[in-house]
Every structure is written in C-alpha cells, then in structure tokens.
Amino acid sequence: MTGEVEMKNNQVRSMHPQKFAMWLFLVSVIMIFVSLSSAYIVKKGVGEWVYIDFPSLFQWTTLVIIASSVSMHFAYIAAKRNNIKNIRIGLAITALLAVVFIVGQLRAWGQLVEDGHYFVGNPAGSFIYVFTGLHVIHLVGAIVFLGIVLGKAFRYQVHSKSMVRIEMCTTFWHFLGGLWLYLYLFLIVNN
C-alpha cells in the first residue's frame, strides 16, 4: 500500500506534446492581439481618429462564429460517445459556418470601402482591417485543421479512444470564437 501511495506522489503530470505545442501557439496569438490592442489604444490617444460605423455584417458573423462553436462542441461530444455519424455532421457544419464567416468578413470589408474606410488612410480603419484580417488568417488555419480531423473521422480514427485531434481542434475553434468576440467588443467599446 505504501508503495502505491509513493508511486502516485512521484507520478509526473504530463500533457500530450501536440497539445502543449498548440497551447504555446495560442499564447503567441494572444500576445499578438494584446499588442495590437495596446497599439490601437495608444494610436487613438494621439488624435486624428475618425468614428467608424461598423458594418452590420459584423453582427451576423458574430452569430455565425457562435453557431460554429456550438456545432464544434456537438462534434466533440459525439466523439466522446463514439457517434461517428454525428462527428462528421458536426465537423461539416462547423466547416460550412467557417466559410460563411469568412465570406461575411470579406463582404464587411466591402461595406467599409463603400463607407470610405480603407486599409490605408485613417488608423481607425487600418486597425479594423488588421484585426479582422489576422483573425481570418487564423481561421483559415483552423479550417485546414478541421479538414484534417474530418478526414480522420471518415477513416474512423476519431472516437472516444482517440480524442487528441478533436480535443485540439475544439480548443482551437473555441479560442478563435472567443477571440472574435473579444475583438468585436473591443472595437465597439474603443471606437
């Protein structure tokens, strides 16, 4: 009995190396957006700032990204329950919603241009393009990852005994959803 207790006390807690790498990546993404948020506030304090009426599509894309988090979580729960059909459905819906989100963001940029706000010009407009553009770039990477996991699901490699990929994908997806909510609220509050 004493040997068992000693073994438990000496066990090292570890994390899957790929998960650890993903968390390091997420921390670096947080640092990028915190730096940009800080630069936004500093630049706004300098002056020459214009008020921007945000594209209405940002509201819709916010709802789309929330829905995609729900569908991603649906796929994750399905994996825990070994429901292969629902894993595939959840991942496919998530991918579709991601594409809808990106198209919505591009159309929102079109609305900004129609309102006379360009990437080059007033810093207020430039920051919106940088924030949303970087988010879209990260989302494209997440879609690639999602496609890999979906492919694994079609080969029966995503299930309750093989959760690492879908756990990572779900974490990344929820992170990007939370990041978009932060960006959207940050831009509205600090406009």
How much is the pTM? 0.88
Span 102-121, pLDDT tens digits: 999 999 999 999 998 889 88
Q: Which domains does the chain have, with CATH numbers?
A: 64-191 (1.20.120.80)
Whole-number pLDDT of residue 151: 93
In tens, the pLDDT along 151-180 reads 999 898 988 898 999 999 999 999 999 999
Provide the residue-wise pLDDT of the chain in tens; the chain has 191 residues.
Answer: 555 555 555 566 788 888 999 999 999 999 999 999 999 999 998 877 888 888 999 999 999 999 999 999 999 999 999 999 999 999 999 999 999 999 999 999 999 999 988 898 888 889 999 999 999 999 999 999 999 999 999 898 988 898 999 999 999 999 999 999 999 999 999 88
The three-state (H, E, C) secondary structure of the chain, written as one string? CHHHHHHHHHCCCCCCHHHHHHHHHHHHHHHHHHHHHHHHHHHHHHCCCCCCCCCCHHHHHHHHHHHHHHHHHHHHHHHHCCCHHHHHHHHHHHHHHHHHHHHHHHHHHHHHHHCCCCCCCCHHHHHHHHHHHHHHHHHHHHHHHHHHHHHHHHCCCCECCECHHHHHHHHHHHHHHHHHHHHHHHHHHCC
pLDDT the model gives residue 50:
86
**Which pLDDT value is given to residue 6?**
52
Per-residue confidence (pLDDT) for residue 89, from 0 to 100: 96
